[in-house]
Amino acid sequence: MLIKNCRIVYEDKCEKGAVSLNSSKIEAVNPEDYIDDEVIDAEGLYLAPGFIDIHIHGAGGYDTMDGNYEALNNISKTIVNSGTTSYLPTTMTCDMEDIKKAISAIAEAVNRGTEGANVLGAHLEGPFISLFAIGAQNPKFIKWPSIETFVEIVQDKISYIKAVTLAPEIEGAKELIKFLCKNNIVVSAGHTKATYKETIEGIEWGISHATHLFNAMTGFQHREPGVVGAIFDTDITTEAICDGIHIAYPSIRVALKQKTTDNMILITDAMSACGMAEGTYSLGGQAVFVKEGAARLENGALAGSILTLDKAIKNVLDNTKYELYEIVKMATSNAARHCGVEYRKGKIKEGYDADLVLFDENIDIKLVIVNGKIVVNNLE
């Protein structure tokens, strides 16, 4: 397959060119000679690496905590329509048996493959979080951080765990953080009431990321900088839900000035209502009410989002002065690095996986290719 006349989105520029694919890989960028029966003329369109969502609970009426392959396959088929070609299904603070089932389903999806976006592994959001920064998590199922409890949850599936969100101030966190780092698992500070000092200690122990910046964490105060201050004062990466609901756009602009686009990842934190009509849904066993673009629990707390990554990119493009390639990087190569697949995903480069998305200036998705195969075709 040859995609020609497209504006290729690199990490540092957008430049007109062509890309050839051979089976599931990118064969060449700007090939000199190429003959193929399948040629796509992408005049006026952008070709970017497929988007990677490192924090998403569900979509299309399905939830990671459904705990079965069918749910993950349907999530994959839903989110691929918005340009997401890989993701980390994200668990909730739930009963340990339910988390075990979810992890087993994720392992199956990794090994079996899906009909849409690739499943790269699991992100465990909890259960080692703070009761005082609970967000939409269920306080009944919070656990004290411990290596023993973590091993009991993941059992023989530890290699499928890519990231764990926890609160570093809770007793036992230090030992668990160090254990996770030894097993090449990204440790993220989130759902936490840690002070600045406690967060810095967690970073010294191995925390390298922070979950949904500004949300469910101690904010920045001039005498107590909190978790936000520690994120801004160090080189750890962080992530943001850019739906205009979870974070005001001026705060996004401030955060990007502090962290730069190299250390920010765009996420959706989407739940089962993503891609669905307004109504009542479930997140980790709790009722969620979706109205006017927001997903909330009965008490009014935000419960994930119904955001998609194409919309997140468009929102940042419309509300900042960053170039398109800088914004796309936050949903592609940065996310690939977080998942440990930066050697094969997240860039348009020879030998990389042929996960690609074609879109116009409004970030309207025209074509999505996963593993070298067209799975979404909106070209006229």
Residues taking part in catalysis: 269
Burial class (CB in 10 A: 0-12, 13-18, 19+), 177: buried
196-205 vs 173-182: helix axis angle to the nearest 10?
A: 30
In this structure, are strands 286-291 and 279-283 parallel, antiparallel, or unpaired? antiparallel
What token pair was written down for 263? Answer: 């250390």
Reported as type and span, the H/E element at residue 5 is strand 2-9
Nearest Cα neighbor of 337 from 163, 202, 111 is 163
Strand positions, DSSP E, 255-361 = 264-267, 279-283, 286-291, 294-296, 356-359
User: For residues 328 and 259, what is the distance between their CA atoms, to the nearest angstrom?
Assistant: 16
What SS3 state is found at 49?
Answer: strand
User: For residues 71 and 274, what is the distance between their CA atoms, to the nearest angstrom?
Assistant: 13
Reported as type and span, the H/E element at residue 85 is strand 84-91
Residues 6+ apart with CB under 8 A from 61: 74, 272, 273, 276, 281
52 and 339 Cβ atoms separated by less than 8 Å: yes
Burial class (CB in 10 A: 0-12, 13-18, 19+), 199: buried
What SS3 state is found at 126?
Answer: coil
176 and 163 Cβ atoms separated by less than 8 Å: no
118 and 371 Cβ atoms separated by less than 8 Å: yes
User: For residues 308 and 62, what is the distance between their CA atoms, to the nearest angstrom?
Assistant: 15
In sequence order, the β-bridge partners of residue 237 are 209
What token pair was written down for 201? Answer: 């200690």
